[in-house]
Structure 1
């Protein structure tokens, strides 16, 4: 190998941790731009709130659908090309969102930007292959944390820019950030030396993509469950049939899209189950707190915060999430990743209890949001370690891709659950639910998170088992 090539590779490896952290944070910010802008999009483009909601939903859908396919496609020597190509699609999508606005262009752009969510497993695979033990562990933890709690950066940023320059200003910053991330990836994302793997099976990819698309469509549309339950049940059956067909197809393939045997491992199955249930609880609480603090005080509760101020309310969530991710590698020298998963789930449970019993002044929700951030950060840092401890290096992207999809399903379920619970406590003709709705949602969240805690406790891999 030429001396120049060796030097270039060494520079890439040295810059890899900060590059991956930058890209993970940018992807989180870009994907979260949809949520705080929904009302502004509806007003600016003269469309309904339900139509504007798709600027968020479509990004989550494309991210979840693309994740397992890109995880397999990016295994081995193709990883750098797939990573840069996907990030290029994200940049193009961000550019579309800044063009003279129409809902069609905006939705296409948001769908393309959502592909960035599928890049996290490839980043984790790159860190695991190219970094040594401690640097790999800390980098993987921080990438996982940034991809989750980075929304706390995107929310206030989007709210402020929308107030100052409208929604195009907010999306323009998304374009600038993704362009910077692309330039950093071109310079620092390394080639993989792992053996080449066959390309994903087209039929398996289509079955999985279609099944996830239908499932997340149901979860992402609370109105469908509220007003058209029969249609939702039919779609749920379609999703089950598509995913069952995918499983049967996978079992016949020599090189499957997802290693189903690996997913049946006690530790991996338990981690994914905990991710699904805990993710639903985490997003339930996040949704409830952000809605509660924006409720006008004239309703009898709430604090009437603006979109921007409510976004600032998420800053402690992100800060404590990053603090938890930063200290997690040191904590893991005293306890296992599995034990950290249990502790972090317990912290989220405490956050629910705080929100359930102490909402009289703004300090209660603020403490609950801070505890949630710390719990989510520690949980996100521990999850990859639990899964990768029993995962072969060549299956890293695939295994983490499945976990990413499970996380998306859990978050969508939590968001929908919050909407359904609060809708049940909203009187006919009223805009806001009663305060009891938030109390019920909080205690339901305690039950959900308690169930996740039971799963985490009972899913420890037995000593001596491979």
Structure 2
């Protein structure tokens, strides 16, 4: 097993890790909306056809979708901090490539490298789970998860300001600078996680998933241009189904899969991922509709006549409100659990879009819509990683959250394609220019409302969970601490790691190994020696414990698979000489 005791976090690093990782998430999210203010000018800026210019946006989306599950798994195997820094470094290179070119192909290459950084989101969530004390984990993961919306919301007015008053290449130089700053902060203040998954990287699985995702997302993003019933669109959809089915069969047979599909079909994981797609759809609709409504001239009879910068500022509260809901989420989730928080967030989103159908007549109304939707989307996004983390072993956190982030990306991709088609088909042609109509905007809001309703249905099917770890888990005695940890894992093993004299051993690595010799979970013992591990199913297991200064221990145990926690103390043998 990998020795990781030299990578323990310091108190200073633990205090700084939340803002540092959240900043990394915001920087990554900026890449997604960096070019929104200049979308309509891209064909002229790149001297190409409009259909070719859309690849500048599509390439970022595709690479981000491919990178999220792959980087999550690499982080589980080789270190989440290491892979986070690699993701940011690739993003910086991509930004610099785009900054020095006005040609289409180099720009697509640069934007593809920028999208690769989307893998930083699940890596940051995994680091937080591994490094933070329980009472800080809920709000920290909420902030990291909502950083996608925060970065996107804040980038709109900033990018609009730069695009309006400077050369558009300055956007990429600024993005590269933010990426370098994030790398430096991560190196200085964010510790590496000591937890590692066992096994090797599933290269065939990664290639198969990448090919399947590209074949799926290409027709989703380009269907409006190619035609939804064209041979190209339907052929790519069919090919994606074939590739993903074959990939799934391979993943079920391999010993160390990229994505453990047996885990993904658990109700807690499956319905969370399905709800994530719907939340992604609802998030992107407002980002597409409000800026256009605000910037349309008042001569249309419904446009609000705002400048690019003012429109960005009016939509920015969408991201700011998402950021401010993180601590609210932590309190709600600690009291009622992440399932209730997700449902609450979706209800608020539904109210926001429903009210928005009648609030499109003034700039201040757009501001109200942004705030309400930001609060709802913030609560929903914040709940997703907590639901995933509570349903998978610690060793699969990165890969599982990577898959969840991918589900959101599929939602935003689908939203972009569908809303683009709706606005194009309902537009008025004025002097050869397509002008979106109020009817198109309202239909888009209705689609978002329907997506939220479907997502709400998925959320209702989630199994009931305990409230997220919060202040109530701070036990006043050793017995209370053990009880809290036992309650945390309803189906699994719990107990304490002790030395030969019966003294609790803190920061011991406890690994759960199934009958096939694969790692099914891992954790570190608390200060009182207590640990808790969930089991994926019934059967025979081995609990392996190791700690600096002690000989390792392997203890056989069996779990019946019912909803109970089996108590098992692990007594490490006498001390060994550490080289």
For the aligned pair, the TM-score class normalised by the smaller chain equals: over 0.9
Q: Secondary structure at the match of 2:199?
A: coil
Q: Secondary structure at the match of 2:361?
A: coil
Which range moved further: 72-81 or 163-172?
72-81
Aligned to 1:207: 208
- Partner residue of 2:457 out of 425, 433, 454: 454
- 1:293 corresponding residue in structure 2: 294
Corresponding position of 1:397: 398
SS, match of residue 192 in structure 1: coil
Aligned partner of 1:444 in structure 2 is: 447
Measure the CA separation in 2 of the matches of 1:257 and 1:417: 30
| Separation of aligned partners in 1, 2:137 and 2:105 | 41
Shift of 1:404: 0.5
Deviates more, 1:121-130 or 1:194-203: 194-203
5 Å-filtered alignment, 1:47-446, equals 47-224=48-225, 226=227, 229-427=230-428, 431-446=434-449
Shift of 1:74: 1.4
* Secondary structure, counterpart of 2:227 in structure 1: helix
Deviation for aligned residue 1:8: 7.7
On the 8 A contact 2:345/2:376 being kept in 1, the answer is yes
Give, in angstroms, the shift of residue 275 of structure 1. Answer: 0.8
Partner of 2:559: none
Does the 8 A contact of 1:321 with 1:376 survive in 2? yes
Q: What CA distance in whole angstroms lies between the structure 1 residues aligned with 2:446 and 2:255? A: 46
Q: Is the 1:141–1:382 Cα contact (8 Å) retained in structure 2?
A: yes
SS of residue in 1 equivalent to 2:385: helix
Matching residue of 2:484: none
Per-residue CA shift, 1:269-308, capped at 9, x if unaligned?
Answer: 1111111123212212331222222222222211122322
SS in 1 for 2:99: coil
CA distance in 2, matches of 1:79, 1:152: 26
Greater gyration radius: 2
Question: Which deviates more, 191-200 or 431-440?
Answer: 191-200
Q: Decide whether the 8 Å contact of 2:67 with 2:117 is kept in 1.
A: no
Q: Distance in 1 between matches of 2:230 and 2:283?
A: 25
Give yes or no for contact 1:214–1:236 (8 Å, CA) kept in 2: yes
Aligned residues between the structures: 462
Q: Residues 354 and 365 of structure 1 are in contact (CA less than 8 Å); yes or no, is this contact kept in structure 2?
A: no
- Distance in 2 of aligned mates of 1:14 and 1:306: 41
SS at match of 2:255: coil
In the alignment, is the contact (CA less than 8 A) between 1:84 and 1:185 conserved in 2?
Answer: yes
Instruction: For residue 405 of structure 1, report the CA deviation from its aligned partner.
Output: 0.5
Checking the alignment, whether the CA contact within 8 Å between 1:149 and 1:373 is kept in structure 2 is no
Q: Higher relative CO (CA 8 A, sep ≥ 6), structure 1 or 2?
A: 1
> Per-residue deviation at 1:127?
0.7
1:90 positional shift: 1.2
Q: Which structure: greater helix fraction?
A: 1
Residue 129 (structure 1) shift:
0.6
Separation (CA, whole Å) in 1 of partners of 2:433 and 2:259? 47
- Cα deviation for residue 77 of structure 1 reads 4.0
Q: Which moved more, 1:144-153 or 1:206-215?
A: 144-153
Answer yes or no: is the 8 Å Cα contact 2:149–2:318 preserved in 1: no
CA contact (8 A) 2:7 2:193 kept: no
Deviation at residue 396 of structure 1 after TM alignment = 0.4
After TM superposition, give the deviation of residue 317 of structure 1 in Å: 0.7
Deviation at 1:373, TM superposition (A): 0.9
1:194: Cα distance to partner? 1.8
Residue 200 of structure 1 and its aligned partner are, at CA, apart by: 2.3
CA distance in 1, matches of 2:435, 2:185: 45
More strand by share: 2
The 1:420/1:71 distance shift into structure 2, 3 A limit, reads same
Using structure 1 for the length normalisation, give the TM-score.
Answer: 0.94
Matching residue of 1:15: 16
How many Å separate the matches in 1 of 2:82 and 2:172? 26
Structure 2 contact 142–326 (Cα < 8 Å) conserved = yes
Where does the alignment leave 5 or more consecutive residues of structure 1 unmatched? Answer: none
Distance 1:6 1:411 in 2: 37
Query: Is the CA contact (8 Å cut-off) linking 1:31 and 1:117 kept in structure 2?
Result: no
| Secondary structure at 2:309 match in 1 | helix
Conserved? CA contact 1:222–1:419, under 8 Å: no
